Structure 1
Amino acid sequence: MAIETILLAVGAGDAERIDRLAEETIDVAGPTGATVVIGHVFTKDEYDDALDNLDFDITAEEVSADDVARRHATVRELTRRFDDADIDYVIHGRVGHHGEKLVELAGEVDADRLVVGGRKRSPTGKAVFGSVAQEVMLEASCPVTFVRADTK
């Protein structure tokens, strides 16, 4: 199966994993020539906070989740790295439940691979707090690569 589209899931907690997320994505996208879809999902509260923090003038313009995602610091850093590595990419933002929206986005863009970051969590922690990465791995229709931050 050829890899033409890679969905890279990015969220608020991924700043600590950005090096590994970029490296793992470039390692696959470079040789295959795949386009990377950078997908950032915001909860409604995260979206509202981002609108405030990024100084969007919501009275003068309609601001989409794509617009907010494009201005997010983690996404800007990833795009810089993809530009340096000559990787084609597009950016999509969504508002809603993280796992659910990532799985939907993977279907919309017909992703051949989904890359998601996470942290080590005990089984009890997953049961009590949930895990976006676990939900994505169980529900996505394409293979999922789980990337953990360096634990040096």
Structure 2
Amino acid sequence: MYHVVLGVDEDEEHARATAKEVANLPGDGSETEVTIVHVFQDNPSGASATQVASVRGAKKVLENAGIAVDVTESSGDPADAIIETSEETDADLIVVGGRKRSPAGKALFGSVTQTVILNGGRPVMVTGVVDDE
């Protein structure tokens, strides 16, 4: 079994595109298991990750490809949650979606993708770049 940890934020289009890249990985989907990680930055309504449209969209894409999916949620720093989940599940691969950012944007807001790449301790696949506008 090949285990993938997929970080998903609030952007539904981005989440679906990232899930499609995971579904397109070589091999039979039935031999792949994906743990979707969603990190709440603010959750006053107390929603669960499975209620978030981006998570549902990514999950649907993966399940349609015959891939077993588990969803986990956290709060706090997204990069730390993705890395922790990859360690807990002994993931073979971490998948995150990239975003274009200006140098000032990187300095001010940091980069989940960069942190995961540098500190993940396992292979990381960065999928399509979506412009932040």
TM-score range, shorter chain: 0.7 to 0.9
My pick for the range that moved more, 29-38 or 99-108, is: 29-38
Cα deviation code 1:67-109 (max 9, x no counterpart): x011111111122222211111111111111111111111111
Counterpart in the other structure of 1:58: none
Matches of residues 3-152 of structure 1 in structure 2 within 5 Å? 4-12=2-10, 14-28=11-25, 30-31=27-28, 33-43=31-41, 46-49=42-45, 51=46, 54=47, 68-149=48-129
Whichever residue aligns with residue 18 of structure 1, its letter is A
| In structure 1, C-alpha distance between the alignment counterparts of 2:75 and 2:26, rounded to whole Å | 26
**Equivalents in 2 of 1:77, 1:98: separation in Å?**
19
Shift of 1:150: 5.8
Q: Where do 5+ consecutive residues of structure 2 fail to align? A: none
Count of paired positions: 130
Distance 2:16 2:101 in 1: 20
Q: Structure 2 length normalisation: TM-score?
A: 0.86
Q: CA RMSD in A?
A: 2.0
C-alpha contact (below 8 Å) 2:12/2:57 kept by paired residues: no
2:111 partner letter:
S
Q: Flag the structure with larger Rg.
A: 1
> Contact 1:6–1:29 at 8 Å: present in 2 too?
no
Relative distance call for 1:7 and 1:103 in structure 2 (3 A) is same
More strand by share: 2
- Unmatched tracts of structure 1, length 5 or more: 55-67
Identity, % of aligned positions:
35
